[in-house]
Amino acid sequence: MEKELKMKDWGPPLRYYWRFTWPVMRKIWYVWPLWLVLILSQMIEPYIYRNVFDELAKIAGVGETFEVETIVFFITLWAVIMLVSAALMTLVRMMFAHRMPLVDRSYFLMAVQRVLDLDMSYHLEKKSGEMMKKIDRAVDSFWTITFMIVVNVVPKLILALGVLIWAMTINWVMTLVSVSLYPLAIWVVFLGLKKTNQLQNKSNTLFDSAIGRAYDAVANIMVVKSFAQEGKERRRFMGKYEKYVKLQQKTSVRWGRIDVWSGAISTMQVIIIISVGAYLMVQGEFTLGQVVMFHTFRRYLYDPLYAIGWDMRHFQFAVLRLEEARKILDREDSVKDLPEAPDLRVKQGLVEMRDVSFKYQKVGVLSRVNIVFEPGKATALVGHSGAGKSTVTALLNRFYDLQRGKILIDGQDIRKVSQRSLHKNIGLVMQENTLFNDTIYNNIAYARPGCRRAAVYEAAKKANIHDFIMSLPKKYKTVVGERGLKLSGGEKQRVAIARVVLKNPPILILDEATSALDSKNEKVIHQALQQVMKGRTSIVIAHRLSTVVDVDKIVVIDKGRVVQQGTHRQLTRQEGVYKDLVDLQVGGLLPK
């Protein structure tokens, strides 16, 4: 968490909890009256104790007669009430447990949709694994809070209130005696909670950091193993986890102190009740049964306090998890559609950047950039690393909103059309393309769900990958593994290109699409890309200048500004950034 979550901050996450649970739980409204009756029915237990012990006390009395039938009646009544209450309470719990998966469904449907709708700027800045872990953990919080409400704290609070009112009607003096140490118990519990919760918050943060370190290592297991860094990762995890263990030990000691002091106060209260009760018995104002009854009252009155003290650590942890998820899912998007934004209509594919400026975290990236990407032609963006080329790609896809200027597609400002329609009209092939852990066929067909099988095959042929796929034992049914790890870099790249071919967008962006490949694979994929680029507005970002020699126009960006434009032949005859880049390439790679 970014900051410690204090009790005063519990409002938003608890309202979040109510938002999902109430629509589901209100449909079993008939359970709530039954639940309340079951809670209050437990008040009969002290009354039974009083009558049974009063009858038992007569055994030791002189000249008094006791009625076995009375004892048997009340014991039987107590047994029946307890058994029926236990059965009905089990039924109530089962009904709540039966409804809770519906709460999970409601939450996950919203959460998955919200995560998919979050603007790309958020996804690019955050770790997706950590984000999904926080969202997933919130599900346990719904269960924890619900069953604390239904089973533990709230029932005991209702029962305590009922017992307090009943006890006052019987003997207000003895009632006050029974709660005489209550203020001290409240002070011990809540003062202890305040200090312990601070430690628990820090402990939770350390735990998240340790687990996050382990998750990061597993997610990058190929790198870890290839560099033989298993020992280092284990030490880094244990370094963080040891800090968590030490703080959790300190926290547990604090919780233990609360339990010890609470137990001591409870014992002192028992001594006071029995002492005062014995005195009243001697005075003839009280019976043994009444003393036992008020002793039972004390348990009912103090149980909620101890339940709060014991369960608060779990409750606080659940609220913390809900708040983590709420902050992700309820955040304000930095990039969002205008109300009733129309869809983008692409007829020619003319893309224009007019006086575009963009800063990322107050650092200038692009400054007054003006570029025209002509319909049906290929334009290359080149420049040193960090010049701003990939930022152009992000802005064209509206992953970020620019701070100044306009980006137009066929005269339509991309900020005024729906993001969904914008993305449908742009095909993006990156240096590292991610594939789903699914079949090759489904990875390609992802671009057009429900399309004809022949269309998938045709797209694969244009991407020069069909023959390779057919050589595999399972052909198009081959599963590519997580992120496509079962395929080589060139194979994975060609599957990604086939996916874009099937999408058939009027605008194509190739962001370092061949820079990570060897010369043989680069040549094959370059041929595939030449096929894909025909008739489309193509934007090519490349470090290897050999891939941009034949494009219609080259735009050179340096330090966020356009410094040169022209063809390869024109730019190599000028002194400037492009000629410097050519001179830095391997000799003989480019024609002079």
Smallest CA-to-CA distance from 272 within 293, 306, 298 is with 298
Which three-class secondary structure state does DSSP give residue 394? helix
What was the pLDDT predicted at 501?
Answer: 86
What was the pLDDT predicted at 470?
Answer: 92
**What residue numbers bound the domain in which 299 lies?**
7-329
Both tokens of residue 259? Answer: 């339990």
Q: Inform me whether the pLDDT recorded for 191 exceeds 90.
A: no
Smallest CA-to-CA distance from 138 within 293, 14, 265, 307 is with 14
Q: Judge contact between 560 and 491, C-beta under 8 A.
A: no
Which three-class secondary structure state does DSSP give residue 410? coil
- Return the CATH number at 88: 1.20.1560.10
CA angle 393, 398, 400 (to 5 degrees): 90
Is residue 335 included in any domain, yes or no?
no
Is residue 36 included in any domain, yes or no?
yes
Q: What is the mean pLDDT of residues 1-13?
A: 64
Q: What is the mean pLDDT of residues 303-332?
A: 75
With tokens 């802005």, the residue in question is: 395
Pairing verdict, β 378-382 and 537-541: parallel
Distance CA 396, CA 385 (A): 19
Which one has a higher pLDDT value, 189 or 174?
174
What was the pLDDT predicted at 592?
Answer: 43
Residue 67 burial class via C-beta count within 10 angstroms: exposed 0-12, middle 13-18, buried 19 and up: exposed
Least-confidence region, from 122-126, 493-497, 534-538: 122-126
Is residue 212 included in any domain, yes or no?
yes
Q: Inform me whether the pLDDT recorded for 157 exceeds 70.
A: yes
Both tokens of residue 286? Answer: 């009280």
Distance CA 114, CA 577 (A): 44
Which three-class secondary structure state does DSSP give residue 452? coil
The domain total for the chain is 1
What was the pLDDT predicted at 63?
Answer: 47
Query: How many helices (H) and strands (E) in the chain?
Result: 21, 10
How many other CB atoms are there within 10 angstroms of residue 69's CB atom?
A: 9
Is residue 88 included in any domain, yes or no?
yes
What was the pLDDT predicted at 62?
Answer: 46
Distance CA 384, CA 559 (A): 8
Percentages of the chain per state (helix, strand, coil), in multiples of 5: 65, 10, 25
* 371-385 burial code (b ≥16 CB/10 A, e <16): bebbbebbbbbbbbe
Which positions ≥6 away from 385 have C-beta within 8 Å? 543
Is residue 72 included in any domain, yes or no?
yes
Which positions ≥6 away from 516 have C-beta within 8 Å? 431, 432, 489
Q: Judge contact between 422 and 414, C-beta under 8 A.
A: yes
With tokens 């590292």, the residue in question is: 432
pLDDT tens, residue by residue, 501-527:
888 889 988 887 665 555 666 666 677
Q: Inform me whether the pLDDT recorded for 259 exceeds 80.
A: no
Please count the residues of the chain.
592
The DSSP H or E segment spanning 511 is: strand 507-511
pLDDT tens, residue by residue, 366-391:
888 899 999 988 888 888 877 888 88
What was the pLDDT predicted at 243?
Answer: 84
Q: Judge contact between 145 and 362, C-beta under 8 A.
A: no
Q: Inform me whether the pLDDT recorded for 591 exceeds 70.
A: no
How many other CB atoms are there within 10 angstroms of residue 478's CB atom?
A: 16
Instruction: Extract the runs of DSSP E, i.e. beta strands, from 264-415.
Output: 351-360, 363-373, 378-382, 404-409, 412-413
70 alpha carbon, distance to own chain's centre: 60
Is residue 514 included in any domain, yes or no?
no
pLDDT tens, residue by residue, 54-97:
777 776 654 456 567 777 887 787 788 778 777 877 887 788 77
Which three-class secondary structure state does DSSP give residue 475? helix
What was the pLDDT predicted at 585?
Answer: 66
User: Which H, E and C letters describe 288-326, residue by residue?
Assistant: HHHHHHHHHHHHHHHHHHHHHHHHHHHHHHHHHHHHHHH
Is residue 95 included in any domain, yes or no?
yes
Q: Inform me whether the pLDDT recorded for 412 exceeds 90.
A: yes
Percent of the chain with pLDDT over 90: 5
Q: Out of 104-108, 201-205, 453-457, 462-466, give the one with best mean pLDDT.
A: 453-457
Mean pLDDT of the chain: 79
Taking only Cα atoms into account, the Rg of the chain, rounded to an integer number of angstroms, comes to 36
